[in-house]
A and B are shown apart, each in its own frame.
Chain A
């Protein structure tokens, strides 16, 4: 066990930190491709390197810089999906930054559950006809194709639908954190058989793995968000004077900040643990899912506490649009619910636990 970063990991961390600290508005996708950030986890022959830990390092810095980017969806989620489906042919242009896949899996009333699929794919000769509605699709407007989960009888199968496909409607809407979100409607969209991602009926297992990768990455972003909120709060309370002294001298506030610190450290542990789980448990989907859901539950809890406390301790200025901490809080609030809220992940954790039917002590071995 070794927690020091390798020189390569330090290099990534530093270069992402520089990017995140600078002006990162607009579409930085070509730059991401050039820096190799789209190749994380890809096979060697595509120039790939690193894995979940490198993704965590990138996302943590994105969190610190409050970077609004399709990286989570188009690089991490779609990348994991295409890797798991062994589609190197589709992955190559993704690594180059030329193809960009959004993943449309959630449906109205599904409450985060990717298995709740009403969208259908009906076979018609060599083609499939897709009909249904997907909600809260991340980064569909900049995607060249959208991966859609659809029911093919009892099973769920994935299809890549070109963004330009006929009868495909992408309706973007405003989000609280500036991220690109849309609903996607498919009114008998026709795709050819080659657009199937993975094999027939493999949709849910592929999605499960890819969503776990995305969730782990999101935990990394949350860690960055929390760390900045804590630092900002410490700094602010040291300079803000009331009753003739810095308010950081008040014990009520000190204890709250100490609690924030503890939560950030617990979150950091769980973010690492999530990355480790992905590294080690590729073949054991239940153990993997339990580890990832555990991480998300902890991150959500810590993030909410740190965020709410940061606003509280800043006082009025924390409520103001022009000050940074409120924006971190807003993103954290959405991250808490993104890719499954605490109720969802707690239920999933318990299901995994039950499925394993391990002794409880064994179940918590790190």
Chain B
């Protein structure tokens, strides 16, 4: 057992740190530091820079432009994002649909979609939740009816981040209404420019407009846009969710939040023993979680696929994000500078999205503790 980073890993860290320091555009860095929302062009520019360096899709197979890094290197890479105030790229294409296409798609799909996700030419969003299907996702009602070589899709998808920017949406739709709940679902890729697709923004309590409702009305989609087998979509959906959860610990983001909090305290000359202790407790928990993530990554390096353990990262990571946003609000008071309260409001989402934390506890109870 060797719990320390190797010299190679440390050298890699320095390389990444240096790259971010010299290549991240200043205006983007300032936005991230200030907590300002990024626009599509910010993501696109940073995407292109990482793409040029060959670092845009660390988790992908090398033949499609992955980096062949160890999980520990990937971890270091994203840690450095935090230190350098670099934004994480949107995950919907790179980290969600791409792994599904790699794993379950056919050659033609891999050739059609992966290069454009990799280059950033096409933006993606995720069509999972519905007004009537949240935690009980398998009860989804969006229907994909097959007519010859075409699916006719009808339904409403909701809480969709970045739909307003997206070129594509991956949709879970019911292809066999007679089958049992989980069995009649398929995983279908839909061009957002198809006739019958409408995007309606949903304003959130923090004033943000990052999420949307997407209506699909008699949208015609070629059958070749289905990934994998008809009716097996639920399997792919679960595969994707486990990938999604590993990322949602958001350790690097927590470190950014913590650094911002400390800067605020310093700037405002706030030095309160009670507050310091509460921050320290969260900071310590973050250290524990960061190391837990490393243990998960090390297991992955040893060949284990991300499993139900990722639920720990999701639950604890989001709790810490929320705790830090709350501490910032506590530190600066009710009419604090403009980002503090909105961020706190916004971050209530973290324990809801990507499978609510209660659902994660169900997963731990059933799949790890076998209750």
Mask: chain A, 275-288; 1 = CB below 8 Å from B; 0 = not: 11001100000000
Report the separation of the CA atoms of residues A92 and B294 in the bound assembly, to the nearest whole angstrom.
38
Give min CB distance, B359 to chain A, whole Å: 11
Report the separation of the CA atoms of residues A14 and B328 in the bound assembly, to the nearest whole angstrom.
47
Closest partner residue, chain B, to A231 (CB atom): B369
A192: B residues at CB distance < 8 A: none
Closest partner residue, chain B, to A1 (CB atom): B72
- Interface core residue of B262, B291, B358 (most chain A CB under 10 Å): B291
| Interface assignment of A272: CB less than 8 Å from any CB of chain B | yes
Give min CB distance, A95 to chain B, whole Å: 23
Size band of the interface chain A makes with B? 35 or more
B259: A residues at CB distance < 8 A: 359-361
Are A249 and B298 in contact (CB-based, < 8 A)?
no
A3: B residues at CB distance < 8 A: 1, 3, 295, 298-299
Partner pick for A251 among B3, B362, B369, CB 8 A cutoff: B362
- Interface core residue of B261, B292, B298 (most chain A CB under 10 Å): B292
| Interface assignment of A349: CB less than 8 Å from any CB of chain B | yes
| Interface assignment of A238: CB less than 8 Å from any CB of chain B | yes
Are B290 and A366 in contact (CB-based, < 8 A)?
yes
Are A1 and B369 in contact (CB-based, < 8 A)?
no
Are B258 and A360 in contact (CB-based, < 8 A)?
yes
Partner pick for B1 among A5, A346, A350, A360, CB 8 A cutoff: A5
Known: A1-B6, A262-B312, A294-B284. A364 touches B290 (CB 8 A): yes
Partner pick for B4 among A265, A266, A280, A353, CB 8 A cutoff: A280
| Interface assignment of B190: CB less than 8 Å from any CB of chain A | no
- Interface core residue of A4, A265, A359 (most chain B CB under 10 Å): A265
Report the separation of the CA atoms of residues A362 and B60 in the bound assembly, to the nearest whole angstrom.
29
Closest partner residue, chain B, to A294 (CB atom): B284
| Interface assignment of B340: CB less than 8 Å from any CB of chain A | no
B79: A residues at CB distance < 8 A: 365
| Interface assignment of B289: CB less than 8 Å from any CB of chain A | yes
Report the separation of the CA atoms of residues A272 and B364 in the bound assembly, to the nearest whole angstrom.
23
Give min CB distance, B12 to chain A, whole Å: 12
Report the separation of the CA atoms of residues A353 and B271 in the bound assembly, to the nearest whole angstrom.
13
Report the separation of the CA atoms of residues A253 and B361 in the bound assembly, to the nearest whole angstrom.
11
| Interface assignment of B69: CB less than 8 Å from any CB of chain A | no
| Interface assignment of B287: CB less than 8 Å from any CB of chain A | yes
| Interface set, chain A 251-272, CB cutoff 8 A to B | 251, 253-255, 257-259, 261-262, 265-270, 272
Are A364 and B286 in contact (CB-based, < 8 A)?
yes
Mask: chain B, 248-264; 1 = CB below 8 Å from A; 0 = not: 00000001101101100
Are B83 and A269 in contact (CB-based, < 8 A)?
no
Report the separation of the CA atoms of residues A360 and B287 in the bound assembly, to the nearest whole angstrom.
12
| Interface assignment of B329: CB less than 8 Å from any CB of chain A | no
Report the separation of the CA atoms of residues A346 and B358 in the bound assembly, to the nearest whole angstrom.
30
B298: A residues at CB distance < 8 A: 1-3
Of B120-128, B234-242, B275-283, the stretch lying at the interface with chain A is: B275-283
Partner pick for B288 among A269, A279, A365, CB 8 A cutoff: A269
Are B287 and A276 in contact (CB-based, < 8 A)?
no
Give min CB distance, A251 to chain B, whole Å: 7
Are A361 and B258 in contact (CB-based, < 8 A)?
yes
Task: Across the A-B interface, give the 9 residue pairs with the lowest CB-CB distance, nearest first.
Answer: A254-B365, A269-B291, A258-B364, A258-B361, A360-B262, A276-B3, A266-B288, A361-B259, A3-B298
Q: List 6 A-B contacts (CB under 8 A).
A: A1-B9, A3-B3, A234-B370, A265-B292, A346-B281, A361-B255
